[in-house]
Structure 1
Amino acid sequence: MAAYELVRKGIPVTMLETGEDIQHGTLVRLAGRNLFRRLPPMTKAEGFVVTGDPETNLEYNYALGGLSNQWTGAVPRFCPEDFTAGEQIHEKYRWPVTYGDIAAYYEIAERTMEITADPGDVPSLPAGYCDYRQQVPKDWQSVRQAALKRGQGFTTMPLADGPPYLLLSRGTSFNSYSKLIAGLVGKPGFKLITRAHALKLEWDGQKKKVVAAIYCDRQTMAHHRVSASAFVVACGPLSSPKLLFNSGCNDHPNGMGNSAGLLGKYLHDHPREWWAVDMDTPLTSLSPPAYLTRLPHASSNPLLASSWTLGAFGTVGKIKSRLGQKTTYFGVQVFGTMVPEEKYYVAPAKNDKDEFGCPALEVHIRFDENVLDNMVKARAHLMQLMQDAGHKGAIREIVPTLVPGTAKHYGGAARMHASPRFGVTDGFNRLHDIPNVLVVDASCFTTGAEKNPTVTVMALAARSADRLARDLRAM
């Protein structure tokens, strides 16, 4: 997204992409419903050492488009309170941006994605731009009313699933390579280098800034150097801090952006749970899925919340959803949150090396009891809400997924804050002590919301690129 915006603003860009090929899957859509989706596989990441929860998941994807090859396409916006609620605990949890600061950039991102959504605001979920409109079925309106009584919204999950009729040889409609980068290839001022795995940034002690990036050609294993005026880092929430750690030098011996010792700290993730529900009354099978937003911030503990995605479950349920038929069971995915704490971190491993000879990355995170308790309460809350709406039900066996990494939503290890006492990056994603380096992936998140982070990452990246373009033109 940052490259896309910089090129649109007339700034020459050289993009180093560790991947080489688009991964192939299958997506078939008919009349606004996904008839079939096969996602390409991921592989277990190498070059990491787990010291927190031993079950921590570290799957990765070194392919063009990265994890957007496996993405479900959910694009809910954060709401205004998501950026401010943390300050009730401590000023270190206050984002240096507001919803108003990035609202226009949300729309820039959304216009690239062919989103299906309900265009109306609901509690805790501002409406975004959508190309295709969809509302929850009429027989679910009682659930919507029960949700509103609790201050929650119940609406269509905003999804970047593309047009109503579609046949793709990729597993996802929106892919960050095909929808953003492929269109830039061949344009003046844009150069894409694939199989280029970034190893470190090069510091000039006299100029007091970063002047080059060193990368490894993953085919030949030869090292190359690319010079530039500014550097946008978007290696993912774990690998971006790793790159900065690897870039230590005389002026920054503990890694770039780490003058306050914060790099890698405050790592957080989404706890995620899957389960199915049997109902005593039939309801229209949901496709696209519906989204139940969090309880109001004013009635919740700061930075602890849940959201619920309700959709078709099982082969028969999915067939019924394609046909618009009713069913007595549906599937639920719950995203929770955790309060980011300094004790959860990524850092260079003391003894292990990665495939490039650099220090492996130690990943230390686990879900505390308050996080797990919040997820248990989310089960009871949904079932009571459904009962109040006139639909009594029971939860089937719960799929055991409550370990870090299953959501693929790590964040916070290069967090943004207005003060360098509490943040690695500032409100425009620039390293506080090296402003010609920007970190634009979810590692910049000050706190996490109970929502999929993708469109917020894209909005922040677009905003930071817009500011960078203005700064470069003024040089």
Structure 2
Amino acid sequence: MNDDRRVVVIGSGPAGAMAAYELVRKGIPVTMLETGEDIQRGALVRIAGRNLYRHLPPMTKATGFVVTGDPETNLEYNYALGGLSNQWTGAVPRFCTEDFTAGERVHEKYRWPVTYNDLAPFYEIAERVMEVTADPSDVPSLPAGYCDYQQQLPEDWLSVRRAALKHGQGFTTMPLADGPPFLLLRRGTSFNSYSKLLAKLPREPAFKLITRAHALRLEWDGKKKKAVAAIYCDRQTMAQNRISASAFVVACGPLNSSKLLFSSECCDHPNGMGNGAGLLGKYLHDHPREWWAVDVDTPLTSLSPPAYLTRLPHASSDPLLASSWTLGAFGTVGKIKSRFGQKTNYFGVQIFGTMVPEEKHYVRLARDDKDEFGFPALEVHLSFDENVLANVIKAREHLLQLMQDAGHRGTVREIVPQLFPGTAKHYGGAARMHVSPKFGVTDGSNRLHEIPNVLVVDASCFTTGAEKNPTLTVMALAARAADRLARDLRAM
């Protein structure tokens, strides 16, 4: 195998794992750098398609960050094999066609350089390794994907579906990477990107995993006009090491990927790699999230898996402002009832809202603070504007009205305030994609406009944030970028 084609992938979360998996499958040798070491242990017991017990490992507050936006900003991370897939809920809705184009109503800078049709085959590649449970039918704003296990809504919830359709919304089973009906695992999630993707790679020179390897910067060669090596710190010895490669896939997470590029400054790129237009770190966005419970006057089957109410139609909504609703079992008694298909008079609701990404929301290197490796810490400056918060409140009112229209009058219990950045852990946009370097750090193949042998494949590349969970779209983009990279390297 031609080692001159070797690619370094940085990060073993869903994006990095998907990229590495596709590259190795296509004959490209890969070395992966992961700052963590082990999979965090949890527990998952699943019987007859329902999770009877789930224990997620704890997260830790990330170091090396300085918050200058909303002081409540949450910066918990997971430096371990599999990254945040050690803790996630497994929700894998596809983006819809309009999610990639609707932003153009605001400005051309908000139009993605990829379309739904571009991503559709790569959505399926990701879905086929995730063992998804879903309703295999399209609903408004949510295209159906590939699923291994089918699940429809309970009969008594169909009145809510009919009411939703009158508003142009879909109401369906939430697509979940929940795995087979019967599971007993020593981890908290069915899908873990290390266990499901990287551990399956053949034990041969095509793939090498280096753990406790914290990537510090990429090295630039001014004569070759490309990145030629990754410099990383061995977290056990604290020694710095260098590894050369033909290309570099950056998947450190939506904040740390920008930090790595900022830290990769050199004579030709004095403000960091990919930052010639000054866009790196800007247009940061996140999902505002809200949790609460609803009491209804008529009992309904306790939902397991949860149900998903899609956004209002793009044509009738303010551009880039939308909400989605996830409805599921609430509390210990509600969860027990859901496991046996019993009825209940209350359920839980999670709302994801969106925001218009703006330059005023950003990450950048801190002036004075340092991280544990002696590099500048990352300043995070993000807050939710009043219109973003008002959109979430409107979403709360909309669901209550929709339930009433369906014949189920509801009352909201006390709302737990979580409307500050980071509670959803869905940051994105700091190395955004765009067809033009005037509006994007990366192009439609996830490559830095200025340095094509460096790719950014995590949610940093998102041009805008849809109201949907991002993981499936992250993995589809990573698979697509890896497919194109593999073709180019094989042609060398």
TM-score range, shorter chain: over 0.9
Q: Give 2:278's aligned residue.
A: 261
Q: Deviations over 1:102-144 (max 9, x none)?
A: 1000000000000000000000000000000000100000000
Q: Give 1:405's aligned residue.
A: 422
Counterpart of 2:349 (choices 332, 335, 349) is 332
Q: Deviations over 1:181-215 (max 9, x none)?
A: 11115133111111111000000010000000000
Q: Give 2:25's aligned residue.
A: 8
Q: Give 1:429's aligned residue.
A: 446
CA distance in 2, matches of 1:218, 1:51: 28
2:162 aligned counterpart, secondary structure: helix
How is 1:5-404 mapped onto 2 (pairs within 5 angstroms)? Answer: 5-184=22-201, 186-404=203-421
Contact 1:185 1:192 in 2 (8 A): no
How is 1:428-467 mapped onto 2 (pairs within 5 angstroms)? Answer: 428-467=445-484
Q: Deviations over 1:308-365 (max 9, x none)?
A: 0000000000000001000000000000000000000000000000001100000000
1:447 aligned counterpart, secondary structure: coil
Number of equivalenced pairs? 475
Letter in 1 for 2:292: W
Q: Deviations over 1:228-282 (max 9, x none)?
A: 0000000000000000000000000000000000000000000000000000000
CA distance in 1, matches of 2:79, 2:486: 28
Q: Residue 474 of structure 1: CA displacement?
A: 1.5
Contact 1:365 1:404 in 2 (8 A): yes
Runs of 4+ in 1 over 3 A off after TM superposition: none
Letter in 1 for 2:95: F
2:402 aligned counterpart, secondary structure: helix
Contact 1:275 1:398 in 2 (8 A): yes
CA distance in 2, matches of 1:308, 1:30: 26
Using structure 2 for the length normalisation, give the TM-score: 0.96
Letter in 1 for 2:72: E
Using structure 1 for the length normalisation, give the TM-score: 1.00
CA distance in 1, matches of 2:407, 2:123: 37
Contact 1:249 1:255 in 2 (8 A): yes
CA distance in 2, matches of 1:22, 1:45: 17
Q: Residue 19 of structure 1: CA displacement?
A: 1.2
Contact 1:185 1:191 in 2 (8 A): no
1:283 aligned counterpart, secondary structure: strand
Q: Residue 369 of structure 1: CA displacement?
A: 0.3
Unaligned runs of 5+ residues in structure 2 are 1-17
Contact 1:304 1:337 in 2 (8 A): yes
2:452 aligned counterpart, secondary structure: strand
CA distance in 1, matches of 2:412, 2:244: 57
Q: Deviations over 1:440-465 (max 9, x none)?
A: 00000000000000000000000000
Letter in 1 for 2:278: G
1:435 aligned counterpart, secondary structure: coil
Q: Which moved more, 1:176-185 or 1:215-224?
A: 176-185
Letter in 2 for 1:72: T
Q: Deviations over 1:361-391 (max 9, x none)?
A: 0000000000000000000000000000000
CA distance in 2, matches of 1:405, 1:255: 25
CA distance in 1, matches of 2:129, 2:357: 31
CA distance in 1, matches of 2:72, 2:202: 40
2:391 aligned counterpart, secondary structure: helix
CA distance in 2, matches of 1:137, 1:29: 20
Letter in 1 for 2:65: F
| Percent of residue pairs bearing the same amino acid type | 85
Letter in 1 for 2:137: G
Letter in 1 for 2:29: P
